């Protein structure tokens, strides 16, 4: 079996999760190349070997088969074209290319065939969008979703290590009855909820909220779906939670039948036994693969309405795991080469 030389660009929270996820994956890796823009020489352990971070320079991607990018939007815009030119297939975790109509936006459980259309670059969707579409695609296929209303409850790790540190420092200050300081977020995050993720746009929505609107349509492949999102940051370290309400064109079956449909869907685990207080929790789902769904119930205020609660580890399925699954898909289907006639 062919082995692949894999580069990971960016050694932040998501980049390190990519390395850890790659280590557990089925992907045959001949060599790992951890790339950074600074802090060159840091040791990175991978499958019994120690690699050192290498500074990104022209020529560094020569011989690389797949490059997983998690270094931010600006770095992706600058470096992804260079990586592609030097022969690598890029899987990019930033927002740089997601809505480019020429670039596939892929969640393997939802639209795997789109990955075949790549011309050297595949975009990894936004974390909050990924977990939602994994849960909703099986229902859309059967009953055609026409409208989604979603409120997210997003962990601070989505902002990076500095946000995790800020939350921990604020909790310690609160307990010690000291002044609570903030720099990462515009307000205190400890014991609080901030309805503010990314920048606000002229329409009053945040960029994060509009990502969910646009990306959902592109991934599912249906521009008629209406999406209204409210994105909220909460003082949780890992795992995003979402309250999702959908309205479908076709009548849906009983809740028990919907639970069965979702339980059989790829990447979905149903935890729904309210009589025994069983439903997905961020504290329980962290470090776990997949998407967890519970609190499934009919919405009696509209025809063909349904509510559900969706939880996933934002650093795994919301980022690193999804990217690695795309890489595994490319290898399995022999879609790594850009010369496949796609």
Give the pLDDT confidence of 104-136 residue by residue, as tens digits.
999 999 999 999 999 999 999 999 999 999 999
Residue 243 phi, psi dihedral angles, 5° rounding: -95, 115
Per-residue model confidence (pLDDT) at position 338? 62
Based on the residue annotation, tell me whether 213 is a catalytic residue of this protein: no
287-319 tens-digit pLDDT: 999 999 999 999 999 999 999 999 999 999 999
Sign of the four-CA dihedral 70, 71, 74, 76: negative
At 18 the pLDDT is 97
Active-site hit among 118, 140, 239, 240 = 240
Q: Which of 328, 334, 333, 330 is nearest to 26 (CA)?
A: 328
Query: Within 10 Å of residue 280's Cβ, how many Cβ atoms?
Result: 24
Yes or no: domain 4-125+319-333 corresponds to CATH 3.40.50.720: yes
First-to-last C-alpha distance (Å) of the chain: 23
Radius of gyration of the chain (CA): 20
User: Is 140 a catalytic site residue?
Assistant: no
Q: How far apart are CA 87 and CA 83, in angstroms?
A: 6
pLDDT of residue 337: 79
Q: Would you list the domain boundaries of the chain?
A: 4-125+319-333, 128-314
Is residue 179 classed exposed, middle or buried when 0-12, 13-18 and 19+ CB atoms within 10 A define those classes?
A: exposed
CATH 3.30.360.10 is right for the domain spanning 128-314: yes
* pLDDT < 70 regions, the chain: 1, 338-342
Residue 154 three-state SS: strand
The pLDDT of residue 342 = 31
Q: Active-site residue among 127, 140, 239, 285?
A: 127
| pLDDT for the residue 254 | 97
């Amino acid at each position: 079996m062919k082995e692949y030389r894999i580069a990971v660009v960016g050694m932040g929270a998501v980049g390190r999760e990519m390395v850890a996820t790659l280590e557990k994956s089925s992907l045959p890796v001949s060599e790992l190349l951890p790339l950074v823009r600074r802090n060159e020489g840091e040791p990175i352990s991978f499958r019994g070997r120690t690699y050192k971070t290498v500074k990104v320079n022209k020529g560094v991607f020569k011989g690389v088969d797949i490059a997983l990018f998690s270094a931010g939007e600006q770095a992706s815009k600058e470096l992804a074209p260079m990586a592609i030119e030097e022969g690598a297939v890029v899987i990019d975790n930033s927002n740089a290319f997601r809505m480019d109509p020429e670039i596939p936006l892929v969640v393997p459980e939802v639209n795997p065939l789109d990955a075949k259309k790549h011309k050297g670059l595949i975009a990894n969707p936004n974390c909050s969008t990924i977990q939602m579409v994994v849960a909703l695609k099986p229902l859309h296929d059967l009953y055609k979703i026409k409208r989604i209303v979603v409120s997210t409850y997003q962990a601070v790790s989505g902002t990076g290590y500095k946000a995790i540190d800020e939350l921990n420092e604020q909790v310690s200050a609160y307990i010690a009855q000291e002044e609570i300081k903030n720099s990462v977020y515009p307000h205190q995050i400890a014991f609080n909820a901030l309805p503010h993720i990314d920048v606000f746009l002229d329409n009053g929505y945040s960029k994060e909220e509009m990502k969910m609107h646009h990306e959902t349509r592109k991934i599912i492949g249906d521009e008629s779906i209406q999406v209204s999102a409210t994105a909220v940051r909460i003082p949780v370290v890992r795992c995003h939670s979402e309250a999702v309400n959908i309205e479908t064109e076709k009548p849906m079956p009983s809740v028990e039948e919907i639970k069965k449909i979702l339980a059989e869907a790829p990447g979905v685990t149903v935890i729904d036994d309210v009589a025994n207080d069983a439903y997905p929790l961020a504290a329980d789902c962290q470090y776990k693969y997949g998407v967890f769904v519970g609190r499934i119930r009919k919405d009696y205020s509209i025809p063909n309405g349904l509510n559900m609660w969706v939880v996933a580890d934002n650093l795994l399925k919301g980022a690193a795991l999804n990217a690695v699954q795309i890489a595994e898909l490319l290898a399995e289907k022999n879609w790594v080469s850009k010369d496949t006639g796609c």
